[in-house]
Structure 1
Amino acid sequence: MTSSDDPPIQRKLIEILRVIDEHEGAVGARIISDALKERGYPLGERGVRYHLRILDERGLTKGHGYAGRTITEHGRREIEEALVHDRIGFIHARLEEMIYQTDFDLEKERGLVIANITAIKKEDLDDALGILRYLSEHGMSCRIKIIEEGASDHAVAVPEGHVGIATICSATCDGILLKHGIPVNINYGGMLRFDKNQASHYTDLIAYAGTTIDPMKIFISWKTTSVLDVVETGDGLLLANVRAVPDLARDEASKILDRVVGAGITDYVNIGDPHSPVLGAPVAAGMTGISVSAGLNVIAAIQEVGIAVAVEPVATVMDYSEFEVV
């Protein structure tokens, strides 16, 4: 006898839950059966009723006589948890899509760059700008664009009573390398320890290909950065990410990234030795690791003084000319 925990049955159970959840009111076996056939699950009404009994027993659906079933809150949570597997790799794929869309020209310093968008309360804007000016005065790149509430020309809607702060995402570096013919794989987001104004090692890493949430968003939620300490004392934790380029492209990538820093796209770049870890982050054979500081460090600094931030990394692409130095 087939167990109700078998993967094929589990997939059908989840799909039935999705069908019920997509309908208003109770749904009967015939409608569910028709919907499943359209999705590639040829399950007759009798088979649907068998699966519905399992869902009822688990408390995921509720029967309403001849009218059919509705989904319970427990059932909705089951769908959300099942979708985790589907979302694995989505962050990485979206990042690569954004990287491909960039067309920043280093010579002319114009073109599309990837932008992060952060929402803060309107009443916090002056204090936030004060922090950004402080960072800028101490040598950190602070190119931003202020987005008013309700603006509809960007991917992230700024809620009422808030303003958006767009910052340049460091993944723009990868788009620039790609534009110069250098294959690049962005691998990790992490927390990078600085000692005496020098990058020392990564204390934490999250692989972009293995997460359902952007690593930068996770690390900012931890509230463990110390960007202001790095600026003031040279010691602390910054947000950064790791990518890899072929060993043969190492020298050319180094020259390009020097110019990227000059354009204010990022602040700190560390290039590892061929096929060796970069600041403790693993690198595949035949590749050179490159660590780049994240564009969200300036937002992390705002958070460090107690200002609440709602961050959307890799939110959209914007024209470089829209950003101004604070």
Structure 2
Amino acid sequence: MTDPNVERKLVEIMRIINESDKPVGARLIADELHNRGYAIGERAVRYHLRILDERGFTKKHGYIGRTITERGKKELNDALISDRFGFVITKIEELMYRANYNLETGKGNVIVNITNIDKNDYDNATDIIRYAMEHGATISPRVGIIEEDTDLDIYVPDGKVALATVCSITFDGLLLNNGVPVVPIYGGLMQMEDYSPTGFLDLISYSGTSIDPIKIFLRRKATSILEAIDTGNGKMLANVRQIPASAAQRATEIMEMAKKEDITGHITVGDPGEDVLYAPIERGKIGIPVMVGINSVAAVEEAGINVDTHPVSAVMEYSKMKKL
């Protein structure tokens, strides 16, 4: 049986083909998948199309592309109904499982956000990202630079350079892999005063939404990252996870170990069953808010540079990521 992540991509590819009134090729499918938040390249699309052909869900028309079959339409109507709800948390859980970075060996994958930057804007954009990272706006100063001809299964549009920034959900992967049960619960907009977080102004639950909460705040242009860095007062993005109260000490030890590997950004560890910076927490649990890795990218947009960002997008070998 194919894993859920592959199945979800298969369904999305069928949706794209079904929405067209003519055969669709792998390149166009890859472009549309990118628009829908899937970091997947043309080569990977061809792999998925072969699976659909073998199942009888799509039909190949030479070099001009595929159409969906009647069997494929029925499958599309029936398959993964639950995928329309709670998609983000499902994707996050899969990436948490795949994030296997080992704090002792310094090897393994971390979760990354992917941001596509126009080549003409790249130097200015990376200057701003470096500035934000140097001032602690993100969880790690390391990035991965992905060119158009990369061997990685990450789609990079023509004329763009993709920048991978460490996603704060990496913390959740570290906790999970070290025996601490963890659930990401909110993405939110954090008020900064005198260079310190004072509380969440707005929160969106990860559960039951089909769009990443952090991306919603990016679209709203709700941040003032550069202002927060320069004056101490502004709005940054952060998210909250909760763990059993009994695991608080172990979680703190893991996060202290992570600092030595340039993975930081956790704001505080809450008290059992108590709100943390105005974020509600369940009884018997504690909340841990963390600054998100995408704050540096939000700063780029604040400076008037257009970028295309996909939070919680993929996993990448952390040892291959370097400081700008």
> Normalized against structure 2, the TM-score is what?
0.72
In structure 2, how many angstroms separate the alpha carbons of the residues matched to 1:92 and 1:107?
28
The residue number in structure 1 matching 2:88 is 91
Opposite residue 224 of structure 1, the aligned amino acid is A
Opposite residue 198 of structure 1, the aligned amino acid is S
In structure 1, how many angstroms separate the alpha carbons of the residues matched to 2:229 and 2:20?
54
Which SS does the other structure have where 1:281 is aligned?
coil
The residue number in structure 2 matching 1:65 is none
Deviation at 1:139, TM superposition (A): 4.3
Gaps in structure 2 of 5+ consecutive residues: 1-14, 23-75
Opposite residue 261 of structure 1, the aligned amino acid is K
Mapped pair 1:143 → 2:145 = no
Deviation at 1:23, TM superposition (A): 9.5
In structure 1, how many angstroms separate the alpha carbons of the residues matched to 2:89 and 2:148?
29
> 1:24 and 1:325, CA in 2 relative to 1: closer, same or farther beyond 3 A?
closer
In structure 2, how many angstroms separate the alpha carbons of the residues matched to 1:315 and 1:143?
16
Moved more, 103-112 or 241-250: 103-112
Mapped pair 1:241 → 2:239 = yes
Contact 1:189 1:241 in 2 (8 A): yes
In structure 1, how many angstroms separate the alpha carbons of the residues matched to 2:266 and 2:230?
16
Deviation at 1:86, TM superposition (A): 4.5
Contact 1:238 1:297 in 2 (8 A): yes
The residue number in structure 1 matching 2:109 is 112
Deviation at 1:312, TM superposition (A): 0.9
In structure 1, how many angstroms separate the alpha carbons of the residues matched to 2:177 and 2:111?
14
Among candidates 98, 119, 124, match of residue 122 of structure 1: 119
The residue number in structure 1 matching 2:302 is 304
Contact 1:242 1:290 in 2 (8 A): yes
Opposite residue 116 of structure 1, the aligned amino acid is N
In structure 1, how many angstroms separate the alpha carbons of the residues matched to 2:92 and 2:259?
21
In structure 2, how many angstroms separate the alpha carbons of the residues matched to 1:214 and 1:264?
25
Among candidates 207, 211, 226, match of residue 213 of structure 1: 211
In structure 1, how many angstroms separate the alpha carbons of the residues matched to 2:233 and 2:312?
27
The residue number in structure 2 matching 1:281 is 279
Which SS does the other structure have where 1:274 is aligned?
coil
1:163-202 → structure 2 map (5 Å cutoff): 163-202=161-200
Deviation at 1:316, TM superposition (A): 0.9
Deviation at 1:175, TM superposition (A): 0.8
Opposite residue 164 of structure 2, the aligned amino acid is A
Opposite residue 280 of structure 1, the aligned amino acid is Y
Contact 1:190 1:241 in 2 (8 A): yes
In structure 1, how many angstroms separate the alpha carbons of the residues matched to 2:151 and 2:189?
33
The residue number in structure 2 matching 1:101 is 98
In structure 1, how many angstroms separate the alpha carbons of the residues matched to 2:269 and 2:103?
20
Contact 1:110 1:320 in 2 (8 A): yes
Opposite residue 110 of structure 1, the aligned amino acid is K
Mapped pair 1:132 → 2:110 = no
Name the structure, 1 or 2, with higher relative contact order (CA <8 Å, separation 6+): 2
> 1:252 and 1:23, CA in 2 relative to 1: closer, same or farther beyond 3 A?
closer
In structure 2, how many angstroms separate the alpha carbons of the residues matched to 1:109 and 1:229?
34
Over residues 216-256 of structure 1, what are the superposed CA-to-partner deviations in whole Å (9 max), with x where a residue is unaligned?
A: 11111111211112222221111111100001011221221
Over residues 236-277 of structure 1, what are the superposed CA-to-partner deviations in whole Å (9 max), with x where a residue is unaligned?
A: 111111100001011221221122234222324221111101
Contact 2:266 2:288 in 1 (8 A): no
> Normalized against structure 1, the TM-score is what?
0.72
Mapped pair 1:224 → 2:193 = no
Opposite residue 273 of structure 2, the aligned amino acid is H
In structure 2, how many angstroms separate the alpha carbons of the residues matched to 1:23 and 1:316?
28
In structure 2, how many angstroms separate the alpha carbons of the residues matched to 1:174 and 1:115?
13
Which SS does the other structure have where 2:271 is aligned?
strand
In structure 1, how many angstroms separate the alpha carbons of the residues matched to 2:83 and 2:314?
22
Opposite residue 320 of structure 1, the aligned amino acid is Y
Gaps in structure 1 of 5+ consecutive residues: 1-17, 26-78
Contact 2:87 2:208 in 1 (8 A): no
Contact 1:146 1:164 in 2 (8 A): yes
Over residues 4-25 of structure 1, what are the superposed CA-to-partner deviations in whole Å (9 max), with x where a residue is unaligned?
A: xxxxxxxxxxxxxx9xx57969
Contact 1:266 1:294 in 2 (8 A): no
Structure with the greater alpha carbon radius of gyration: 1
| Deviation beyond 4 Å, 4+ runs, structure 1 | 21-25, 83-86
The residue number in structure 2 matching 1:271 is 269
Contact 2:182 2:241 in 1 (8 A): yes
> 1:116 and 1:195, CA in 2 relative to 1: closer, same or farther beyond 3 A?
same
